[in-house]
Protein backbone atom coordinates (compact mmCIF):
# COMPACT_ATOMS: atom_id res chain seq x y z
CA UNK A 1 0.00 0.00 0.00
CA UNK A 2 0.91 3.65 -0.09
CA UNK A 3 0.41 6.61 2.19
CA UNK A 4 -1.50 6.22 5.42
CA UNK A 5 -2.15 2.48 5.00
CA UNK A 6 1.56 1.75 4.70
CA UNK A 7 2.40 4.12 7.56
CA UNK A 8 -0.12 2.41 9.86
CA UNK A 9 1.26 -1.05 9.05
CA UNK A 10 4.84 0.16 9.56
CA UNK A 11 4.00 1.81 12.89
CA UNK A 12 2.08 -1.26 14.09
CA UNK A 13 5.11 -3.40 13.35
CA UNK A 14 7.82 -1.08 14.65
CA UNK A 15 6.26 0.72 17.62
CA UNK A 16 2.99 -0.65 18.87
CA UNK A 17 3.76 -4.21 20.06
CA UNK A 18 0.66 -5.26 18.13
CA UNK A 19 -1.01 -8.47 19.34
CA UNK A 20 -4.03 -8.23 17.04
CA UNK A 21 -4.25 -6.10 13.90
CA UNK A 22 -7.86 -5.91 12.72
CA UNK A 23 -8.75 -4.24 9.45
CA UNK A 24 -12.11 -3.53 7.82
CA UNK A 25 -11.54 -4.46 4.21
CA UNK A 26 -14.27 -5.06 1.61
CA UNK A 27 -15.95 -7.95 -0.16
CA UNK A 28 -15.87 -5.68 -3.21
CA UNK A 29 -12.37 -6.98 -3.93
CA UNK A 30 -13.78 -10.36 -4.97
CA UNK A 31 -13.57 -11.10 -8.70
CA UNK A 32 -16.32 -13.58 -9.43
CA UNK A 33 -16.24 -15.34 -12.78
CA UNK A 34 -19.16 -16.86 -14.67
CA UNK A 35 -18.23 -20.14 -12.93
CA UNK A 36 -18.22 -18.69 -9.40
CA UNK A 37 -20.47 -20.48 -6.97
CA UNK A 38 -22.53 -18.21 -4.74
CA UNK A 39 -22.36 -17.37 -1.95
CA UNK A 40 -18.69 -16.42 -2.31
CA UNK A 41 -16.35 -17.85 0.30
CA UNK A 42 -13.16 -16.20 1.55
CA UNK A 43 -11.28 -18.33 -1.01
CA UNK A 44 -12.94 -16.60 -3.99
CA UNK A 45 -10.31 -14.98 -6.25
CA UNK A 46 -9.69 -11.32 -5.50
CA UNK A 47 -8.51 -8.35 -7.52
CA UNK A 48 -4.84 -8.37 -6.47
CA UNK A 49 -4.43 -4.68 -7.37
CA UNK A 50 -7.29 -3.60 -5.06
CA UNK A 51 -6.14 -1.28 -2.27
CA UNK A 52 -7.57 -3.65 0.35
CA UNK A 53 -5.61 -6.59 -1.08
CA UNK A 54 -2.41 -4.54 -1.14
CA UNK A 55 -2.97 -3.58 2.52
CA UNK A 56 -3.70 -7.18 3.55
CA UNK A 57 -0.64 -8.52 1.72
CA UNK A 58 1.69 -5.88 3.15
CA UNK A 59 0.49 -6.48 6.71
CA UNK A 60 1.05 -10.23 6.29
CA UNK A 61 4.50 -9.66 4.73
CA UNK A 62 5.45 -7.59 7.78
CA UNK A 63 4.34 -10.43 10.03
CA UNK A 64 1.50 -8.50 11.63
CA UNK A 65 -1.21 -10.59 13.33
CA UNK A 66 -3.79 -9.51 10.73
CA UNK A 67 -7.50 -10.23 10.89
CA UNK A 68 -9.25 -8.80 7.84
CA UNK A 69 -13.02 -8.33 7.89
CA UNK A 70 -14.70 -8.20 4.45
CA UNK A 71 -18.16 -6.67 4.76
CA UNK A 72 -20.48 -6.22 1.84
CA UNK A 73 -22.73 -3.23 1.13
CA UNK A 74 -22.89 -1.73 4.62
CA UNK A 75 -25.88 0.32 5.74
CA UNK A 76 -27.09 1.67 9.07
CA UNK A 77 -25.75 3.80 11.91
CA UNK A 78 -22.18 5.03 11.48
CA UNK A 79 -21.86 3.53 7.99
CA UNK A 80 -19.56 5.65 5.88
CA UNK A 81 -20.82 4.79 2.41
CA UNK A 82 -24.47 5.33 1.63
CA UNK A 83 -24.49 5.54 -2.15
CA UNK A 84 -25.89 2.02 -2.62
CA UNK A 85 -29.12 2.57 -0.74
CA UNK A 86 -29.22 6.31 -1.40
CA UNK A 87 -29.48 5.66 -5.14
CA UNK A 88 -32.84 3.95 -4.49
CA UNK A 89 -34.10 6.63 -2.09
CA UNK A 90 -33.05 9.44 -4.40
CA UNK A 91 -35.02 8.02 -7.30
CA UNK A 92 -38.01 6.96 -5.19
CA UNK A 93 -38.60 10.32 -3.49
CA UNK A 94 -38.35 12.08 -6.85
CA UNK A 95 -40.85 9.61 -8.35
CA UNK A 96 -38.29 8.44 -10.92
CA UNK A 97 -38.16 4.86 -12.18
CA UNK A 98 -35.65 2.48 -10.67
CA UNK A 99 -33.46 1.53 -13.64
CA UNK A 100 -32.30 -1.97 -12.75
CA UNK A 101 -30.12 -4.13 -14.99
CA UNK A 102 -31.33 -7.58 -15.97
CA UNK A 103 -34.59 -8.87 -14.61
CA UNK A 104 -34.08 -7.52 -11.07
CA UNK A 105 -33.94 -10.97 -9.46
CA UNK A 106 -30.19 -10.83 -8.88
CA UNK A 107 -29.41 -11.49 -5.23
CA UNK A 108 -27.41 -9.24 -2.92
CA UNK A 109 -26.45 -9.25 0.74
CA UNK A 110 -26.81 -5.98 2.64
CA UNK A 111 -24.81 -5.77 5.87
CA UNK A 112 -25.94 -3.76 8.86
CA UNK A 113 -23.18 -1.63 10.38
CA UNK A 114 -23.99 -3.07 13.82
CA UNK A 115 -23.19 -6.56 12.50
CA UNK A 116 -19.83 -5.29 11.26
CA UNK A 117 -19.10 -3.83 14.72
CA UNK A 118 -20.14 -7.10 16.36
CA UNK A 119 -17.82 -9.12 14.12
CA UNK A 120 -14.95 -6.74 14.82
CA UNK A 121 -15.43 -7.20 18.55
CA UNK A 122 -15.89 -10.98 18.28
CA UNK A 123 -12.29 -11.59 17.19
CA UNK A 124 -11.30 -10.72 20.77
CA UNK A 125 -13.06 -13.89 21.96
CA UNK A 126 -10.29 -16.07 20.49
CA UNK A 127 -7.53 -13.93 19.03
CA UNK A 128 -5.29 -16.85 18.00
CA UNK A 129 -8.08 -18.59 16.08
CA UNK A 130 -9.05 -15.31 14.41
CA UNK A 131 -5.46 -14.65 13.35
CA UNK A 132 -5.11 -18.19 12.00
CA UNK A 133 -8.31 -17.88 9.93
CA UNK A 134 -7.23 -14.33 8.94
CA UNK A 135 -10.07 -13.43 6.52
CA UNK A 136 -13.75 -13.21 7.44
CA UNK A 137 -16.67 -12.30 5.19
CA UNK A 138 -19.23 -10.15 6.92
CA UNK A 139 -22.68 -10.55 5.43
CA UNK A 140 -25.99 -12.21 6.01
CA UNK A 141 -27.83 -15.28 4.81
CA UNK A 142 -30.90 -13.07 4.28
CA UNK A 143 -30.59 -12.24 0.60
CA UNK A 144 -32.74 -9.77 -1.27
CA UNK A 145 -33.15 -9.11 -4.97
CA UNK A 146 -32.40 -5.74 -6.51
CA UNK A 147 -36.13 -5.24 -7.06
CA UNK A 148 -36.80 -6.12 -3.40
CA UNK A 149 -34.23 -3.54 -2.25
CA UNK A 150 -36.32 -0.94 -4.06
CA UNK A 151 -39.49 -2.07 -2.33
CA UNK A 152 -37.84 -2.11 1.09
CA UNK A 153 -36.55 1.42 0.52
CA UNK A 154 -40.04 2.51 -0.55
CA UNK A 155 -41.44 1.04 2.67
CA UNK A 156 -38.84 2.93 4.73
CA UNK A 157 -39.64 6.18 2.90
CA UNK A 158 -43.40 5.72 3.37
CA UNK A 159 -44.01 5.31 -0.37
CA UNK A 160 -46.77 2.93 -1.40
CA UNK A 161 -45.28 -0.04 -3.24
CA UNK A 162 -47.91 0.40 -5.95
CA UNK A 163 -46.26 3.74 -6.83
CA UNK A 164 -42.79 2.25 -7.30
CA UNK A 165 -41.75 2.26 -10.94
CA UNK A 166 -39.15 -0.30 -11.96
CA UNK A 167 -37.66 -0.50 -15.43
CA UNK A 168 -35.30 -3.31 -16.33
CA UNK A 169 -32.67 -3.03 -19.04
CA UNK A 170 -30.03 -5.16 -20.74
CA UNK A 171 -26.76 -4.54 -18.89
CA UNK A 172 -24.81 -6.34 -21.61
CA UNK A 173 -26.06 -3.78 -24.13
CA UNK A 174 -26.06 -0.64 -21.95
CA UNK A 175 -23.63 -1.34 -19.11
CA UNK A 176 -24.06 -0.69 -15.42
CA UNK A 177 -24.74 3.03 -15.75
CA UNK A 178 -25.41 4.68 -12.38
CA UNK A 179 -26.86 1.52 -10.84
CA UNK A 180 -25.07 1.13 -7.47
CA UNK A 181 -24.59 -2.64 -7.46
CA UNK A 182 -22.94 -5.05 -9.84
CA UNK A 183 -25.33 -6.16 -12.58
CA UNK A 184 -25.06 -9.80 -11.47
CA UNK A 185 -25.54 -11.74 -8.25
CA UNK A 186 -23.02 -10.63 -5.64
CA UNK A 187 -23.14 -11.98 -2.12
CA UNK A 188 -20.78 -13.61 0.33
CA UNK A 189 -20.83 -16.64 2.57
CA UNK A 190 -20.56 -15.48 6.19
CA UNK A 191 -19.95 -19.04 7.45
CA UNK A 192 -16.44 -18.43 8.84
CA UNK A 193 -17.79 -15.59 10.99
CA UNK A 194 -20.51 -17.70 12.56
Give the pLDDT confidence score for residue 83 in this predicted structure. Answer: 84
Cβ atoms of 148 and 33 within 8 Å: the answer is no
What percentage of residues in the chain have a pLDDT greater than 90? 85
| 3-state secondary structure (DSSP) of residue 160 | coil
Give the pLDDT confidence score for residue 81 in this predicted structure. Answer: 78
What would the pLDDT profile of 94-153 be if each residue is shown by its tens digit? 999 999 999 999 999 999 999 999 999 999 999 999 999 999 999 999 999 999 999 999
Cβ burial, residue 76 (10 Å; 0-12/13-18/19+): middle
Contact partners, residue 164, CB within 8 Å, separation at least 6? 92, 98, 150, 151, 154
Is-above-0.85 flag for pTM?
yes
Amino acid sequence: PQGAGKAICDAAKAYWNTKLFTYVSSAGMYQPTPDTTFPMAETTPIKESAGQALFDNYAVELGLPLVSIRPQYIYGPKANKYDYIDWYFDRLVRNLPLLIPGDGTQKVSLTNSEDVASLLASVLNDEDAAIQQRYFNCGTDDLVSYDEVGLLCADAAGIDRANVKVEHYDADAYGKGKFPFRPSNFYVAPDMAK
